[in-house]
Structure 1
């Protein structure tokens, strides 16, 4: 009888590639969520059109959209008023 499980191989244990892919997915989800939160916080400093365009970019262009927002959002952040 042919067995697909050879001695020493555990088919339930993830391979290195699967662990790497899972870590990459978790990082992508984290960047996506942080970009959405940042966009929501900075929405008052943007026009409605800019907000919608950034939201579409963040949602529909994975990794690049959220990363682009996080890099460029610094210019939209409010600076504390100097008295």
Structure 2
């Protein structure tokens, strides 16, 4: 057998990182959509800060919004 590999077939880590990136992007989109829906219940400053956090720190910001921020919104029916 030859030690050559097919460059058209990505290595396993390339596939894993691609899946991770797609999941982080999807999570960020979900967080931004729920943030936009909750924006009426938030002060303009709070909505802006949460948006910046979600965009600048996608994984941690999205998880923080979905777990803490959304529940802390005043008048939120999910609490």
Runs of 4+ off more than 3 Å: none
> TM-score, normalization: structure 2?
0.84
Max Rg structure? 1
Q: Secondary structure at the match of 2:8?
A: coil
Structure 2 portions without partners, runs of 5+: none
1:29 aligns with 2:25: yes
Q: Quote how far apart the aligned CAs of 1:11 are.
A: 1.2
Residue 16 of structure 2 corresponds to 20
Deviations 1:22-54 (A, max 9, x none): 000000000000000000000011111111110
User: What is the aligned residue count?
Assistant: 75
Segments of structure 1 that go 5 or more residues without pairing to the other structure are 1-5
Q: In angstroms, what is the RMSD of aligned CA positions?
A: 1.8
